Chains A and B, each alone.
Chain A
Amino acid sequence: MPTVLRRSAAFLALIAGAGLAQAQDANLARNLAATCANCHGTNGQARGDMKPLAGLSADKIVAMLADYKSGNQPATIMHQIAKGYTDEQIRLVAGFFAAQPAKK
């Protein structure tokens, strides 16, 4: 892609939000999901007591995070973290984890 076009696309992405950014940034879902890995395991394959996300349906992940955001689902910490991500970012993260194999 020519630099000028790339630059203007990046600018549009900024003003139009994550929807267009996604079109320009093939790794965005992967990168966003990696912010969850510290607690939920690399690629969502969690260890021990923590909740695995790999292999859950995207709709389920989106619904869980919506419930944390709204307060419908009480939590110790996830209600605070969920509010830091846009709905579009949550959709991307959910799609990424849904495509990961559950831990053997």
Chain B
Amino acid sequence: MNASNPQRRRLLGVGAALAATGLAGCAGMASGPSTGRVVVVGGGYGGATAARYLKLWGNVDVTLVERNTDFVSCPISNLVLGGYKQMADITRGYDGLKAVGVKVVQGEVTAIDVAGKKVRLAGGGEIAYDRLVLSPGIDFMADQVGGLQPALDSGRIVHAWKAGPQTVALRRQLEAMPDGGVFAMFIPKAPYRCPPGPYERACVVASYLKTAKPKSKVLVLDANPEIQSKKALFEKAFKDRYEGMLEYRANAELKEVSGNIAKLDFEDVRADVLNVIPPQRGGDLARSAGLLNMNNRWVGVNWLTMESTAAPNVHVLGDATFSAPAMPKSGHMANQHAKVAAAAILQQLKGEPVSSTPVVMNTCYSYVTGRDAMHVASVHQYDATDKTFKTVPGSGGVSAAANQIEGRYALGWAENIWADSLAL
């Protein structure tokens, strides 16, 4: 297809990682000449979906650069912490994307040359693009909590806010915790990735401890003034299911960590396992590319195309974006961003107008035990006057109650969104 492209031929020399990715996957997929080259950086919910839908809807060369060998889902990962699921249950490969013609490169993009329209790989290769999709996720502002960065670096404290080795490490800490121990977790001020996620984690860990180590305690230290999502439902779960075991404290600002001590404004809290979810911003690559133009923290985007307002031809998806009103930072939403971007990019590459009426929606399930779950849902229509997505009045909402049926739907959601994003 592009065998004569000197850029690509040079890349072929980059190394074994590229050679192993199956460039042959692109054979036979396209009909007619490609309308352009799109590079997608980051193979999470946003990037994987963008790569998949660009191939599903268009005839373009798509290269996905992802540093990890596999996709590991943050949603459902709290069930791994509780021992209700294994890592294999939340891990999927990139073979589906390869099979639909996406060139999957395992590697790390170290720099973006916006003017030259190319990305640079660790190890020295470059990949040229007509349009770039960047789905960088989040990185942490650990310096806002004294002592946190060295504690994270040493592995003594884990965040487990990116699924993978951190998930395994926190599960091990919970398994090693003595009965009668204290599991303390810190929740940063919003906005952060997955608004209901921390409260789900508190419930699922409490569910595990209630059975395995019933004398233990779960202490939830929330920097926010109140529970950030499904508030009434989580309050009910805390009270009805975990009263006496789980304690929730609002406005608990974590100043410093020292050993197993969490230092708050007016007291020190000792924990056997201390799980700190650090304050967050758009991912490192977005920062080094100068894209964090909103509060020096998030990426401003044009919601019709998902293009960065800081760099032309660079489309940014998911948690790294400066959210529209009431739009959550979620894997589901990143998948929806990706579809808006894919549709827009294919039009832009053909020189045709993009849709003026995009819609995105969100569904987040949260478990309160290993079995029972509840949801929050919202639908967001583009508002041309204010140039942003707005939720539709009267739509959306939360579950009447957490239950087993919604627990089954949560797993059904996972199976379907993983298949949708990864072309499984």
Contact = CB atoms under 8 A, between A and B. Distances in A.
Contact of B409 (A13, A37, A41, A76): A76
Contacts of B313: none
Nearest to A41: B416
Nearest to B418: A47
Interface string B356-373: 111111010000000000
Given A38-B420, A76-B375, A81 B335 contact: no
A42 interface: yes
B396 A76 contact: no
B225 interface: no
A30 B419 CA distance: 18
A84 B355 contact: no
Nearest to B45: A38
A17 B128 CA distance: 40
Pick the most buried of A24, A31, A47: most chain B CB atoms within 10 A of its CB: A31
Contacts, number: 122
A63 interface: no
Interface stretch (B9-17, B62-70, B102-110, B377-385): B377-385
A39 interface: yes
Nearest to A3: B353
Given A25-B355, A25-B357, A37 B413 contact: no
B377 A50 contact: no
B53 interface: yes
Contacts of A27: 57, 343, 347, 355
Contact of B339 (A21, A34, A80, A83): A34
A38 B335 contact: yes
Contact of B361 (A14, A42, A84): A84
Nearest to A30: B57
B356 A13 contact: yes
Interface in B386-408: 391-392, 394-397, 399-400, 405-406, 408
A93 to B, nearest CB: 10
Given A21-B356, A42-B419, A35 B336 contact: yes
B417 interface: yes
Given A38-B332, A41-B420, A81 B412 contact: no
Interface in A27-53: 27-28, 30-32, 34-35, 37-42, 46-50
Contacts of B336: 35, 38
A74 B358 CA distance: 28
A35 B338 CA distance: 10
Contact of A84 (B53, B332, B392, B399): B392
A41 B356 contact: no
Interface residues of B, number: 47
Contacts of A32: 359
B395 A83 contact: yes
A81 B360 CA distance: 11
Given A25-B356, A31-B339, A81 B415 contact: no
Contacts of B420: 37-38, 41-42
A57 interface: no
Contact of B396 (A13, A38, A80): A80
B122 interface: no
B412 A48 contact: yes
Contacts of B395: 80-84
A70 to B, nearest CB: 13
Given A25-B355, A32-B359, A89-B359, A81 B379 contact: yes
Contacts of A14: 356-357, 384
B56 interface: yes
Contact of A47 (B343, B361, B419): B419
The 5 closest A-B pairs by CB, nearest first: A84-B379, A84-B395, A83-B395, A80-B397, A84-B392
Given A25-B357, A48-B412, A76-B409, 14 more contacts: A14-B357, A21-B356, A24-B353, A25-B355, A27-B347, A39-B363, A39-B409, A47-B415, A80-B396, A81-B377, A83-B395, A84-B361, A84-B392, A85-B392
